[in-house]
């Protein structure tokens, strides 16, 4: 496939890449832009490890052609911490023991991030539904759910969203 110029916003910064638009956004991020925080667990849209936020929506980046990012906004796990200040979701994931092998964590956190953008006081079932496309083999999801609840609480107390 012919390479083409694609301009999009990545983690708040406008960038231009010259790439094959048919490769997946996941490949573009990992292989060409060096953002390996977004993981590949299956490459078939089944595990959620590659979840990123595309215009506010959590998507499996392995299923999104890179060309579809054109003129849109992509957020990856690398965008969440500001300097040495972690996002409340990241803090809560650590505090609640929601991270074991950690391979699902970036995708899981991005799905939770998208949820908290939509809903500042999610219920347990809303959380479980929001992360139901993100497989975790280590945790049984319990401490992840606790972490998202706790992060929502923290954000509410700070008067912020997401």
Partner 1 sequence: MPTETDIITGDRKTDRGFQTPEVWAKITGKAIYGIDLKLPGMLYGKILRSPHPHARIMGVDLEQARRMPGVRAALAGDELSCKPFGMVYKDELPLAIDRVRYIGDEVAAVAAIDEKIALKALEAINVDYELLPAVFDTEEAMAPGAPQLHDQHPGNLAWQRELTRGNPEAAFKTADLVVEGSFSVPQVHAAYLEPICCVADYDPYGGLTLHTAVQSPDIVRELVADVLDLPVSKVRIIGPVMGGGFGGRVYGNLKVYIISSLLAIRCGRPVRMQLTRQEEFIAGRPMIAAKIRAKLALNQDGTILARAVDLITDNGAYSAQAPWVSKTLSERNDSVYRIPNIRTTVRLVCTNKVPTGQYRAYGNQVGNFAMESLLDMAAKKLGLDPLELRLKNCVKKGEVTVHGLRINSCALSDCLQAAADEIGWHKRKPGRGYGISAAIHAGGSLVFDKNMRGASAYARLEYDGRVTLFSGEQDYGQGTHATFILIAARALGIEPDQIIIYSRDTLTSPFSIGALAMRQTTIGGKAIQLAAEKLREKIAQTAAEMLGEPVVMEGGRVRSATGKTLELSEIAADYRFQTSGLSITGEGKYVPSESAYDDTGYGNIAVAYSFAAHTAEVEVDRETGEVKIIRIVAAHDSGRILNLISARGQVYGGVTQGLGYSCQEGYLFDGGRVLNDSLADYRIPTALDVPDIMPIFIEQDDPEGPFGAKGLGEIVMVPVLGAVANAVADALGIRVTDLPITAERVYQAIVEWECEQ
Binding site residues, partner 1, CB under 8 A:
30, 35-44, 46-47, 49, 76-78, 80-81, 86, 90, 93-94, 97, 99-106, 109, 127-129, 131-145
**Radius of gyration, alpha carbons of the chain:** 15
- Helix or strand holding residue 6 (H, E): strand 4-10
Our CB check for partner 1 shows the closer of 13 and 159 to be 13
Measured between alpha carbons, how far is 31 from 93 in angstroms, rounded to an integer?
27
Report, in Å, the least distance between residue 162 CB and partner 1. 16
Report, in Å, the least distance between residue 134 CB and partner 1. 8
Among residues 53, 24, 49, the alpha carbon closest in space to that of 39 is found at 49
Report, in Å, the least distance between residue 155 CB and partner 1. 16
Our CB check for partner 1 shows the closer of 6 and 39 to be 39
- In 21-156, the DSSP E strands lie at 51-54, 57-60, 73-75
Our CB check for partner 1 shows the closer of 57 and 81 to be 81
Report, in Å, the least distance between residue 71 CB and partner 1. 25
Our CB check for partner 1 shows the closer of 7 and 102 to be 102
Handedness of CA 54, 42, 66, 28 (dihedral sign): positive
């Amino acid at each position: 496939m012919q390479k083409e110029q694609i301009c999009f916003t990545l983690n708040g910064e406008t960038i231009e890449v010259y790439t094959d638009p048919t490769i997946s956004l996941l490949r573009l991020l990992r292989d060409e832009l060096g953002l390996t925080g977004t993981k590949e667990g299956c490459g078939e849209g089944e595990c959620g490890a590659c979840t990123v936020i595309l215009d506010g929506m959590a998507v499996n980046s392995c299923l999104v052609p890179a060309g579809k990012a054109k003129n849109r906004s992509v957020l990856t796990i690398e965008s969440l911490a500001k300097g040495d200040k972690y996002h409340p979701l990241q803090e809560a994931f650590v505090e609640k023991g929601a991270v074991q092998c950690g391979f699902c964590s970036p995708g899981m956190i991005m799905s939770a991030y998208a949820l908290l953008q939509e809903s500042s006081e999610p219920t347990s079932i809303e959380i479980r539904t929001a992360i139901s496309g993100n497989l975790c083999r280590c945790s049984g999801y319990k401490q992840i759910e606790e972490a998202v609840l706790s992060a929502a609480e923290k954000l509410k107390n700070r008067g912020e969203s997401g």
